[in-house]
Amino acid sequence: MEKSSLPLPNEAPYYAGAKPARRSRKAAWALVPLAVTAYLFGPSIFRSVAPVSVGGTDLDPWASKSYCAQPDAIFPSEGDDALKKQYEYISSADFWNATVKRISGAVQVKSESFDDLGEIGKDPRWDVFYNFHKYLEATFPLLHEKLKVEKVNTHGLLYTWQGTDEKLKPTLLMAHQDTVPVPPETISAWTYPPWSGAYDGKHVWGRGASDCKNQLIAVMETVELLLEAKFNPKRTIVLSFGMDEECSGRQGAGHLAKFLYNRYGQDGLAVIVDEGSGFEEAWGTLFAKPGTGEKGYTDVHITVRMPGGHSSVPSDHTSIGVVSELITLIEAHQYRTHLEEINPYYTQLHCGAENSPDFPKTLKKLLAKRASGHEAHDSSAINTCKAKPDRLALEAAKQGKDIQYLMQTSQAVDVIIGGIKVNALPERVTVTVNHRINVGETPQIVWDRLTDLAGAVAKKHGLALHAFDGKEEPSSINLAASATTLLVAPVTPADGDPFAIIAGTTRALYGKEVIVAPGIMTGNTDTRYYWNLTKHIFRYGPGYDPEDDKGLAGVHTINEKVSIRNHVNAVRWFTLFVRNMDEVEI
């Protein structure tokens, strides 16, 4: 695949071994996914709102439109008594107790995935998913009886509930079966053992409890309940569960997405909902933030090769010393903080300005200037000395690192391997630097920058430089991009029917005081493979527990847990959403 092109139909959106060209900035900028005008001014079903004044300055030239108009709550039609009773049952003590057992049981089945997994059928570590499939079959018998069940690449799970109206595009609900591993040395630090599925009266504890067996179980519970109530959907409902999301998803979602593309074709799905961002209180307001975008991704492997020898007669700089110098240089030069108008966080800021009593005044004034065109954003010289500071982004970044990196390419030196003996000079040292790429940028910007920095160090120490050319030689610095390099995701429109149904369903469940704003993910989900199946992809965790700081904790660390109130609300949301989607013609 050409690295200056977005994924073609039926292709995973990866560079997969591409060799980045030197200094091709023009091609890189051609990849900005959506024009600002298309993002802001598409057709909308949102109700009109009064002009908004921000910091004493009207949002001219768009003062007659709100950036954050909220739909009314959307409820499905009443349906028959069975559907009413089933929905009421979700809030009962009986369902609460039953769902505790289901989540606990799912957590107790180990389903870790590892970065170094071998081929399916040859590496026995894949076999844990046979046990998980057996658990699901025993726990959701009606679903497995009534839906079409297909296994894709052995362990990928695909369920299809065929609708009665073939003209309606399907709804796809996603989650992943796998979890990150638990390092053995951390087990003693857990309050409850990581695969115990312990229930303390409020939370279920264990690896996968909140990432994301909770969402997988919620989706399956939703379907099982609707089947029990004799629901007969017009719109086909598809469930897709990969098994290696935590190690880039190539064997799971990568195969499932191709399978679905062959069945439904380009833009063949109405909407996708996968795991993702959820609820957050900011500026005195509760926001729901379904992810409508994701940052890009690239790992860069840096290898320094230098002559070995006895440590009693060392060179002035060993390969470890040289790579350390390069690491220091990399960390001393952070990427520029800047906010493109197509970045969903730009709309989030408007939602805060329009709805939050505690929205910062300085930020409000800068936002008004940007929106009115009085302070245009210079995106022509991103991450160069010519670029003017983005005052809006820099002010917003003062809220903390979690906000800063919504508007900045991140870099993290995560892995270093080198040296085998205390009296032997290291001949080869490798470092891996992880990058999550900001909206409006491309992997090429990262590759060009690292080439510049590595070139300076190589010249200083008399080493050859091989930057992304696939070569390596003695006495050299070598740069290589990972096969999992990923473009910034196309931004899901926040002004059409699917977003309105997401938002309206959320406000139906949690009340009109919740403001629904498009979110952006700093990490990546399995949806990275599904871009050609629909323009309406949402990374969303719809469960929320107002009494327990959202009800989730410990993702990718010790003491992972989910509150049952959060989980029950997720089941209620999915039940409403599936039925709401069934009643619109999109």
pLDDT grade for 7, boundaries at 50, 70 and 90: very low
Q: Which residues are annotated as a binding site for Zn(2+)?
A: 176, 211, 246, 274, 556
Q: Which of these, 297, 279, 209, 212, lies nearest to 522 by C-alpha position?
A: 297
Say whether pLDDT at 205 is over 80: yes
Mean pLDDT, rounded, for 81-96: 96
Which domains does the chain carry? 45-68+338-404 (no CATH), 81-114+127-285+493-582 (3.40.630.10), 296-335+409-481 (3.30.70.360)
What phi, psi does 147 have (nearest 5°)? Answer: -95, 155
Q: Residues 485-489: what's their mean pLDDT? A: 95
Backbone angles phi, psi at 130, to 5 degrees: -60, -40
Contact 521, 277 (CB under 8 A): yes
- Taking the alpha carbons at both ends of the chain, their separation in whole angstroms is 32
**Nearest one of 153, 181, 180, 156 to 246, comparing CA atoms:** 180
Does residue 391 contact residue 79 with C-beta atoms inside 8 Å? Answer: no
pLDDT of 382 above 60: no
Tokens of 204: 């279920």
Q: What angle do CA 278, 280, 286 make, to 5 degrees?
A: 110
pLDDT at 374: 64
Cis before 212? omega within 30: yes
Looking up tokens 């979602």 gives 253
In the annotation, is 127 catalytic?
no
- The residue whose two tokens read 């013609």 is 585
Residue type, 269: L
Token digits for 420?
Answer: 């085998």
Choose the catalytic residue: 11, 221, 224, 245: 245
Label residue 551 by pLDDT band (50, 70, 90): confident
pLDDT reading at 499 higher than 80:
yes
Q: pTM of whole model > 0.75?
A: yes
Residue 525 has pLDDT above 60, yes or no: yes
> Is residue 384 scored above 60 in pLDDT?
no
Tokens, residue 140: 């959701």
Per-residue model confidence (pLDDT) at position 342: 96
H runs (alpha helix) in 381-439: 391-397, 401-404
Cα-trace Rg, the chain:
25
* Average predicted confidence (pLDDT) for the chain: 88
CB 584 within 8 A of CB 502: no
pLDDT in tens, 37-59: 333 333 333 322 233 333 333 44
Q: Taking Cα atoms as reference points, which of 328, 267, 294 lies closest to residue 518? A: 294
Length of the chain counted residue by residue: 586
Q: In what order do the strands lie in the sheet with 279-282?
A: 279-282, 285-288, 515-516
Q: Which residues are annotated as a binding site?
A: 176, 211, 246, 274, 556
Of 58-62, 336-340, 359-363, 432-436, the one with minimum mean pLDDT is 58-62
Percent of the chain with pLDDT over 90: 81
Q: Are 72 and 504 in contact (CB under 8 A)?
A: yes
pLDDT bucket at 373, cuts 50 / 70 / 90: confident
- Band (pLDDT 50/70/90 cuts) for residue 223 is very high
Mean per-residue pLDDT, 202-220: 97
């951390």: which residue's tokens? 186
Calculate mean pLDDT across residues 284-305.
Answer: 97
Q: Which of 178, 244, 294, 497 is catalytic?
A: 178
| For residues 71-81, average pLDDT | 90
How sure is the predictor about 65, in pLDDT bands with cuts at 50, 70 and 90? low
pLDDT-derived band at 379 (thresholds 50, 70, 90) equals: low
pLDDT tens per residue, range 225-266 = 999 999 999 999 999 999 999 998 999 999 999 999 999 999
The angle subtended at Cα 306 by Cα 303 and Cα 311, nearest 5°, is: 120
Question: What's the number of CA atoms in the CB half-sphere (13 Å) around residue 105?
Answer: 17
DSSP state letter for 82: H
- Is the model more confident about 44 or about 500? 500
Q: Show the tokens assigned to 424.
A: 């032997």
- How far apart are the C-alpha atoms of 352 and 518, rounded to whole Å? 12
80 catalytic per annotation: no
